[in-house]
Amino acid sequence: MKLIANLQEVYKHRLLIRTLVGRELKARYRGTVLGFFWSFFNPFLLMVVYTVVFGFILKPRDPTLGEGPWMYALYLFAGILPWTWFSSSLNDSANVLMVNGNLIKKILFPAEVLPIVSVTSNFIHFLFGLPILLIFLFVFGKPPTVYLLLLPAVLLVQFVFSLGFSLLLSALTVHFRDIKDILSNLLTFWFFSTPIVYSLGMLEHSPALRAVLDLNPMTHIIGGYHDCLFFGQMIHWKRLGVTLIVSLVLFVIGYAVFDRLRDSFPEEV
Amino acid sequence: MAAIELDRVSRIYQKYSSRHRFQTFKSAIVKGSLFGSLKPDELVRAVDDVSFSVEKGQTFGLIGENGSGKSTILKMVAGIAKPSSGRILVTGKVSALIELGAGFHPEISGRENVYINGIMLGLSKKEIARKFDEIVRFAELEDFIEAPVKTYSSGMYMRLGFSIAINVNPEVLLIDEVLAVGDAAFVPKCLDRIDDFRRRKKTILFVSHDLSTVAKICNTVAWMKNGKIRMIDEPKRVVDAYMQDVTEAQEAEFRERKEEAAAAVVAVPAPPPAAEGPASARLEQGPAAEAAVTAAPAEAPAPAAEPPAAAEEGRREQRWGKREVEIRRVVLRNGQGEEKHVFRPGETMVIDMDIAAREPVKDFVFGLAVFNSMGVLCYGTNTRLEEFESVAFSGEGRVVCRIESLPLINGTYYLDLAAHKRDGYPYDYHRNMYSFLVSSMIRDEGVARLDHAWEFSPEIKIKSPAK
pLDDT at B433 over 80: yes
Separation CA B419–CA B305 (nearest Å): 13
B42 to chain A: which residues are within 8 Å by CB?
none
Domain B247-275+282-309+316-438 CATH class label: mainly beta
Contact at CB, A16 and B22, closer than 8 angstroms: no
Return the closest-CA partner of residue B101 out of B160, B183, B39, B13.
Answer: B160
Share of chain A above pLDDT 90, in %: 42
Give me the residues of A, 144-183, that contact B with CB < 8 A: 172, 175-179, 182
Q: How far apart are CA B33 and CA B27, in angstroms?
A: 9
Q: What are phi and psi of A200, to 5 degrees?
A: -60, -30
Q: Does B80 touch chain A (CB under 8 A)?
A: yes
pLDDT at B38 > cutoff 60? no
Most distant CA atoms of chain A, gap in Å = 58
Burial class (CB in 10 A: 0-12, 13-18, 19+), A26: middle
Compute the distance between CA of residue B430 and CA of residue B419 in angstroms, rounded to an integer: 9
Amino acid at B392: A
> Which amino acid does the sequence have at B98?
I
* DSSP state letters, B402-420: EESS----SEEEEEEEEEE
Q: Which residues of B touch A14 (CB under 8 A)?
A: none
- Residues A112-165 pLDDT 10s: 999 999 999 999 989 988 888 888 888 888 888 889 999 999 999 999 999 999
Phi and psi dihedrals of A27, rounded to 5? -65, -30
Q: Chain B partners of A30 at a C-beta cutoff of 8 Å?
A: 107-108, 148
What helix, strand, coil percent values describe chain A, rounded to 5? 85, 0, 15
Which of A103, A172, A178 is opposite residue B103, by nearest beta carbon?
A103
The phi, psi pair for B351, rounded to 5°, reads: -100, 120
Do B128 and B164 meet the contact criterion of CB atoms below 8 Å apart?
Answer: no
In our burial notation (b when 16+ CB lie closer than 10 A, e otherwise), range B429-451 reads: bbbbbbbbbbbbbeeeeebebee
B228-233 and B318-320: which strand pairing? unpaired
Name the average pLDDT for chain A: 88
Helical spans, DSSP H, in B121-210: 125-139, 154-166, 186-199
Note the pLDDT tens digit of each residue in B304-331.
444 444 444 455 678 888 899 999 999 9
* pLDDT tens figures, B227-245: 899 999 998 889 888 888 8
Cα–Cα distance for residue pair A221/A183, rounded to 1 Å = 20
The answer to whether residue B165 scores a pLDDT higher than 80 is yes
pLDDT tens figures, A193-203: 999 988 888 88
| pLDDT score recorded for residue B170 | 82
- pLDDT at A72 > cutoff 50: yes
- Beta carbons of A267 and B14 less than 8 Å apart: yes
Is any Cβ of chain B less than 8 angstroms from the Cβ of A107? yes
Which A residues 11-50 touch B at CB under 8 Å? Answer: 15-16, 19-20, 23, 26-27, 30-31
CB-nearest to B120 from A30, A107, A176 is: A107
At B139 the three-state DSSP class reads helix
Residue A83: pLDDT band with limits 50, 70, 90: very high
Question: A41 versus B200: which is more confidently predicted?
Answer: B200
Per CB-CB distance under 8 Å, the chain A contacts of B126 are: none
Number of H helices, E strands in chain B: 10, 18
Domain boundaries, chain A: 2-268
Give the nearest chain B residue to A102 (CA atoms): B102
Count of alpha carbons within 13 angstroms of residue A217, beta-carbon side: 20
Chain B residues with CB inside 8 Å of A32's CB?
A: none
Which comes out higher in pLDDT, residue B115 or B267? B115
Length of chain A: 269
Nearest Cα residue to B320 out of B381, B357, B272, B284: B272
Which of B404, B250, B410 is closest to B333 using CA atoms?
B404
B22/chain A closest Cα distance in angstroms: 6
Maximum mean pLDDT: which of A244-258, B45-59, B343-357, B434-448: A244-258
- Establish if A109 touches chain B: CB-CB under 8 angstroms: yes
Whether the CB of B112 is below 8 Å from some CB of chain A: the reply is yes
Mutate to test the interface with B, among A12, A17, A19, A32 (most CBs of B within 10 A): A19
Residue A132 has a pLDDT of 82
Binned at pLDDT 50, 70 and 90, residue B421 comes out as very high
B228-233 sheet: strands from edge to edge: B94-97, B172-176, B203-207, B59-63, B220-225, B228-233
What are residue B320's DSSP bridge partners? B429
Contact A179 B25 (CB under 8 A): yes
> Which pLDDT value is given to residue A49?
84
Whole-angstrom CA distances from B72 to B16, B46, B50, B430, B467 are: 18, 7, 11, 47, 31
Arithmetic mean of pLDDT over chain B:
80
Q: Specify the pLDDT at position B275.
A: 38
pTM, to two decimals: 0.69
A107 interaction partners in chain B (CB closer than 8 Å):
80, 96, 102-103, 120-121
CA distance B301 to B279: 24
pLDDT tens digit string along B253-296?
A: 877 876 776 666 555 444 444 433 333 333 334 444 444 455 44
Answer whether B25 sits within 8 Å of A172, measured CB to CB.
yes
Q: Which residue has the higher pLDDT, B123 or A39?
A: B123
Q: CA A149 to CA A224: how far, in whole Å?
A: 12
To probe the interface with A, which of B119, B128, B164 has the most A CB atoms within 10 Å? B119
CATH assignment of B2-245? 3.40.50.300
Helix A113-139, helix A38-50: angle, nearest 10 = 60
pLDDT given for residue A32 in this prediction: 72
Taken in order B271, B277, B283, B285, is the CA torsion positive or negative? positive
Distance, in Å, from the CA atom of A101 to the CA atom of A268, rounded to the nearest integer, reads 9
Given CB atoms, is A58 within the 8 Å cutoff of chain B?
A: no
Every domain range in chain B assigned CATH 2.70.50.60: 247-275+282-309+316-438
Q: What is the pLDDT of residue B277?
A: 38
